[in-house]
Copies of this chain bind each other. A is one copy, B any other.
Amino acid sequence: MSSLFLRTLREDPADADVPSHRLLVRAGYIRRVAPGGYAWLPLGLRVLRNVERVVREEMDAIGAQEIQFPALLPREPYEATGRWTEYGPNIFRIKDRKGADYLLGPTHEELFTLTVKGEYSSYKDYPVILYQIQAKYRDEERPRAGILRGREFLMKDSYSFDLDDDGLSRSYLLHRDAYIRIFDRVGLRYVIVHAMSGAMGGSASEEFLAESEVGEDTFVRCPESGFAANVEAVTTPAPPAQPIEGKPDAQVHHTPSTPTIESLVDFLNAANLGRTFTAADTLKNVMVKIRQPGEDKWELLGVGVPGDREVDMKRLAASLSPAEVALLDDADFEANPFLVKGYIGPGALAANGVRYLVDPRVVTGTAWVTGADRADHHVVDLVCGRDFTPDGTVEAAEVREGDPSPDGAGVLVAARGIEIGHIFQLGRKYADAFTLDALGPDSKPIRITMGSYGIGVSRLVAAIAEQHHDDLGLVWPREVSPFDVHVVTAGKDDAVRGGAEELAAELDTAGIAVLLDDRPASPGVKFADAELVGVPTILVVGRGLAKGVVEVKDRATGERTEVPVEDAVRHLTALVRG
């Protein structure tokens, strides 16, 4: 430590608001050099390399082959798939000295597809899984939390190429298992959540979320069944249809001054209609417009959700993907005067040929209070299947704690997580864009089906730090710790120093990575730094040496064990080798 390029800080950095950021800076693992850009100092780089090694070992173990693309990529392939435009301001774009367009790769689907197309031609060549571990770039609007969300970050991205859907499923499961092993080895608590694919298009998709209060991803899970999902991927169980017969007729009511659901419910309950209404009895119709990929024209769409829930635009967007969705503006309302703001009902939509999708809870026979398509008027007891017929259902209503789990096992609770991995059945989107075919046994082309799979390698370091720290500092899991043993001398006499150096040398010979604190600092400073740096095992060489003992301290538990000097190397080697 006397020569290590490391200076720990006593104060928290001003710009750090999450524990991993604070501690990784204080303990000298990383330094900020630009917004969302960090330098890895020696300790940090050792942790990063350890994580990278675990990822590489597990990828190699499933037969994935490592290659490496440039980060600076030409525009054309991304133009071909539409991603050049779709990414908007989220990618870094560059013009070279000749004015040609380039980008800094966010992910490399296009290049992998083109490369496989360049090398492989026969069905006998497949399947293949390729990966790289490489700096990736995204021009995040708000880089935050140090290396948790940076603009340059290390990522493992892999891509599978299969002849058919069964093959894709196998490649997907291979990755799923590899990811489980990786995250287990680096000591993370995580959940695997069903995820919607968003802009990437495709079918099955799961995210690995490290549970953490500072995570940006919200998810829900069912404690009873272990079900976990992105809110975008939660499906709402439909209640059974109800008989229509016997329902009262629909009646239009004059409902002045009821601009909100709350005021409407209050009005109705004050109107003595013979029963009590709640917000859940109302049907709120939200108007949006959608545009299919490649189309210019926007189409109107009505979305009906129970009035006690907001429309969750992320859920709605995920449901309607790959179509683009936007709220109506004033011009849209002016152009469609049949839309009476605040009083829109299914009637006007049907009469004007506007598609109308409803929450899955809106089943045949359910009766609703909703807009009557006239200012200051609502209709009561509008029955689905009798008075209106939706064009289908849509997952648009917000998901709340206490909602039933889609698997029927219990109710959902909310949680937060850090996205550390994403596995994803792309299907044929990229193979279609670049005509990636294999020549089949019958000499007919077989369109290849793909998967893409990512792990945020540098983000993993932050996620591990979030889950493994205490008030004193970092507490690394053994597999990723920058060193195996941190040797601290307590006392300045030559015997102590000599003894510590000798033990460090013996450990080194035994293949143990040792950090020796040989600085002429006080024991207090050294102990504080050892706690901050977070190597899992601390060997204290101090006064006990005269009696032939040293102390082994477990960083995580604080437990101290006296060990005879002559047993120290054997004891520590056993600890490290686990």
Contacts and interface: CB of A to CB of B under 8 A. Distances in A.
Most chain B beta carbons < 10 A, residue from A6, A74, A102, A137: A102
A525 interface: no
Contact of A128 (B5, B34, B70, B97): B5
B139 A97 contact: yes
A152 B71 contact: yes
A560 B49 CA distance: 42
A59 to B, nearest CB: 12
Contacts of A92: 72, 94, 96, 102
Given A38-B70, A45-B67, A92-B102, 16 more contacts: A5-B67, A6-B119, A31-B118, A34-B74, A40-B67, A42-B65, A45-B66, A45-B68, A71-B71, A71-B152, A72-B104, A72-B137, A72-B151, A94-B94, A96-B151, A97-B141
A63 B68 CA distance: 29
Contact of A70 (B39, B70, B74): B39
Contacts of A104: 72, 94
B67 A34 contact: no
A77 to B, nearest CB: 9
A326 interface: no
A288 interface: no
Interface in A116-159: 118-120, 128, 130, 135, 137, 139, 141, 151-152
A72 B34 contact: yes
A339 interface: no
Interface in A38-95: 38-42, 45, 48, 63, 65-74, 89-90, 92-94
Contact of A4 (B65, B71, B151): B65
A272 interface: no
Given A34-B102, A74-B33, A68 B96 contact: no
Contacts of A35: 100
A3 interface: yes
A135 B69 CA distance: 11
A115 interface: yes
Contacts of A130: 5
Interface in A1-40: 3-7, 28, 31, 33-35, 37-40
Contacts of A96: 92, 139, 151
A375 interface: no
A111 interface: yes
Contact of A39 (B102, B111, B135, B139): B111
A408 B427 CA distance: 72
A90 B42 CA distance: 30
A252 to B, nearest CB: 50
A7 B119 contact: yes
Most chain B beta carbons < 10 A, residue from A89, A93, A97, A114: A97
Most chain B beta carbons < 10 A, residue from A70, A90, A94: A70
Contacts of A68: 39-40, 45, 48
Given A72-B152, A73-B37, A111-B33, A120 B7 contact: yes
A291 B335 CA distance: 66
11 contacts: A3-B128, A31-B118, A33-B70, A34-B70, A37-B72, A37-B74, A42-B67, A70-B135, A70-B152, A96-B139, A97-B139
A257 B33 CA distance: 64
Contacts of A39: 67-70, 111, 115
Contacts of A69: 33, 39
A70 B37 contact: yes
A295 to B, nearest CB: 26
